[in-house]
């Protein structure tokens, strides 16, 4: 994903990918503002936990099928 750069009165600005507020004046490589970044990290870690639980359940389920 590339940063969103917009003109801001000739100075330029970098916008957040999620909420579209100005993160910094000038062009930076940032993708998210602090608020959205913390939400994204929280969401990603929850997603990883759910995915890992699902994988563990599938391993258990497949293990029971193999033994029958």
pLDDT of res. 15: 92
pLDDT of res. 66: 56
* DSSP H or E segment with residue 15: strand 13-15
pLDDT of res. 39: 85
Q: How is the chain split into domains, by residue range?
A: 4-67
Dihedral sign from CA coordinates of 41, 44, 48, 50: positive
Report, as ranges of residue numbers, the positions in the chain whose pLDDT lies below 50.
68
d(CA 58, CA 31): 35
């Amino acid at each position: 994903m590339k940063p969103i750069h917009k003109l801001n009165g000739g100075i330029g600005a970098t916008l957040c990918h999620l909420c579209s507020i100005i993160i910094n004046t000038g062009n930076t490589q940032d993708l998210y503002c602090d608020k959205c970044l913390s939400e994204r990290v929280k969401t990603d870690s929850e997603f990883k936990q759910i995915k890992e639980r699902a994988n563990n359940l599938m391993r258990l389920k497949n293990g029971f099928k193999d033994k029958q």
